[in-house]
Structure 1
Amino acid sequence: MAKSNCENCKMRAKYDAKPKSFAGRFWRWHINWCPGWKGYMKSLSENERRVIKKEYQLK
């Protein structure tokens, strides 16, 4: 499987800059089902996952 680009995703950057923008809201919706994002999260350490879950209000 190819390496995920989620860390450098342009849509993620738009969310980080303006979470309430259409692009930001689209990205946040998208990560709920995206297999690439799920793989990216699994590739992170437990501490990194915890930080991202808190930052993006994930379960």
Structure 2
Amino acid sequence: MSGCENCWFRAKYDKNPRSLLGRMWRWHIGFCPGWKKHFRGLSEEKQQALSLQYKLKAK
């Protein structure tokens, strides 16, 4: 299991998406293999919720 659920970097985005670290985290998840594995392991409902929350493209 990845640490994505409790990641300090992700928390920076959640606290302030427009901050430098928040924007870096959002960019980072576009290619992070750990995030992709974490995301695929979630239920369909949680995937949809995160897709909306983080403005992820549907695949």
* Category of TM-score, reference length = shorter chain: over 0.9
Post-superposition offset of 1:41: 0.5
Map residues 1-59 of structure 1 onto 2, 5 A cutoff: 3-59=1-57
Post-superposition offset of 1:13: 0.3
4+ residue runs over 3 A deviation: none
Post-superposition offset of 1:54: 0.4
The gaps in structure 2 that reach 5 residues or longer are none
Identity, in percent, stands at: 53
TM value normalised by structure 1: 0.94
CA-based RMSD of the aligned residues comes to: 0.4
How many residues align structurally? Answer: 57
Q: SS in structure 2 opposite 1:19?
A: coil
